[in-house]
Amino acid sequence: MALHDEYAGALFAFALRLSMDPERAEEAVAEALLRAWQHPEAVDGGHGSARAWLFTVVRNYLTDAWRRDAARPRTSGPERLGGIAGPDEVERAVETWALADAMALLSKEHRQVLYYSSYLGHSVEETAAELGIPPGTVKSRTYYALRALRSALEEMGYVR
């Protein structure tokens, strides 16, 4: 019940964005929560975050449904299939979500240096000027920020 209260809304919004079908989104959320109930060890912190595991189950359920529908289209018409995201789009959405969750775990200084250097593509010198810190500090923070980001992604089960 606690998982439902905490994650059902976010899971449904995620599933709805991917599938564009409220019924399919409800099915995906129900399946994820059922699997969490059947496998409590998966969400009790032993394999990373419960949130990441649940979102992965929803993504996999929708990917399987998309493949199943592509092999045997529903009789309600091809327009219904057009709204379902393909496997690549689903994978990218989940990776983006996981990266955002992992970035939120970093310190403000680490997020800033990654934002300027990786997202905006600034050089070390440009990043140093923007943040008002020495270039050596930018290099050091970038190194430790990437290590922390990798560690966070590993804990969430996205990097091995």
| pLDDT of 42 over the 80 cut | no
Mean pLDDT, the chain, whole residue set:
82
**How many Cβ atoms sit within 10 Å of the Cβ of residue 156?**
21
Predicted local confidence at residue 77, as pLDDT: 52
CA atoms of 155 and 130, how far apart (whole Å)? 31
Decide if 84 contacts 20 (C-beta within 8 A).
yes
Q: Convert the pLDDT of each residue in 57-113 to its tens digit.
A: 889 888 888 888 777 755 555 555 555 566 677 777 777 888 888 888 899 999 999
Q: Is the pLDDT of residue 133 over 60?
A: yes
Query: Is 55 in contact with 11 (CB distance < 8 Å)?
Result: yes
DSSP string, 12-47: HHHHHHHHS-HHHHHHHHHHHHHHHHH-HHHHTTTT
Q: Give the torsion through C-alpha atoms of 50, 44, 145, 112, to 10 deg.
A: 40
Amino acid identity of residue 70, one-letter, is: A
Listed residue (109, 111, 113) closest to 123, CA to CA: 113
Sketch out the chain's domains with CATH numbers: 2-104 (1.10.1740), 108-155 (1.10.10.10)
Please state the rounded mean pLDDT for residues 22-48: 80
**80 Cβ contact list (under 8 Å, min separation 6):** 21, 74
Tell me, yes or no, if the pTM score tops 0.95. no
